[in-house]
Amino acid sequence: MSESCSNSRHFSWLMKSCFPNSNPNQNYHTNIHQSITTTTTTTAAATDISSLPDDLLLECLSRVPSSSLPSLSLVSHRWSRLLLSPSFFHLRRHLHLLHHSLFALSSTTLQSATLLFDDDTTCSSWVLHPFPFLPLHSLSFANFQSFLSQARLSAIGPRIFIIGRNAMLRYDTWTRTLLSCSPMLFPRKKFASAVVSAKIYVTGGAYSTPTQSATVDEYDPETDTWRVVSHAPRVRYGCIGASVDGVFYVIGGLKMGGESAARAAGRREAHVLYASSMDLYDVEARAWLRSRALPGGGCVVGACASMGHVYILANHAVELSFWRFDARRKSRGFGEWSRIKSPPLPGQVRVDSRVKFSCVGIGDKVCLVQVMGCIDDLLRRSGRPLRGFKQSLVLVYNTDSGDWTRGPDLPDVIPRAACVHFQS
Partner 1 sequence: MASSSSSSSTQVKKITLKAADGKHFEVEEPVAMEMETVKSFFVGNEDAMKDMVVPLLNVSSEHMPAILDFYRNHSEFRKRTPPPPAEEVKAFNEAFLENKSDEQLMEMIMAANFLNTKELLNFLTEAAANRIKNKSVEYVRAFFGIENDFTPEEEARIRAENEWAFDGLDED
> In the complex, which residues of this chain contact partner 1 (CB under 8 A)?
6-7, 10-11, 13-14, 17-18, 32-33, 35-36, 39-40, 42-43, 46-52, 55-56, 59-65, 67-68, 70-79, 129-130, 132, 134, 136, 175-178
Q: Residue 53 CA to chain centroid, in angstroms?
A: 32
Cβ 19 to partner 1 shortest distance, Å? 11
Cβ 110 to partner 1 shortest distance, Å? 13
Cβ 61 to partner 1 shortest distance, Å? 7
Nearer to partner 1, 71 or 125 (CB): 71
| R_g (Cα) of the chain, nearest Å | 24
Cβ 293 to partner 1 shortest distance, Å? 47
Nearer to partner 1, 63 or 339 (CB): 63
Phi, psi of 397 (to 5 degrees): -100, 125
Nearer to partner 1, 72 or 229 (CB): 72
Strand-pair category, 254-255 with 236-237: antiparallel
Nearer to partner 1, 10 or 339 (CB): 10
Cβ 177 to partner 1 shortest distance, Å? 5
Cβ 94 to partner 1 shortest distance, Å? 11
> Across-strand partners of 419?
104
Distance CA 365, CA 316 (A): 24
Nearer to partner 1, 99 or 199 (CB): 99
Phi, psi of 5 (to 5 degrees): -60, -50
Burial class, 141, CB count within 10 angstroms (exposed 0-12 / middle 13-18 / buried 19+): exposed
Neighbours of 178 (CB within 10 A): 17
User: Are the CB atoms for 114 and 127 separated by under 8 Å?
Assistant: yes
Burial class, 307, CB count within 10 angstroms (exposed 0-12 / middle 13-18 / buried 19+): middle
Nearer to partner 1, 11 or 334 (CB): 11
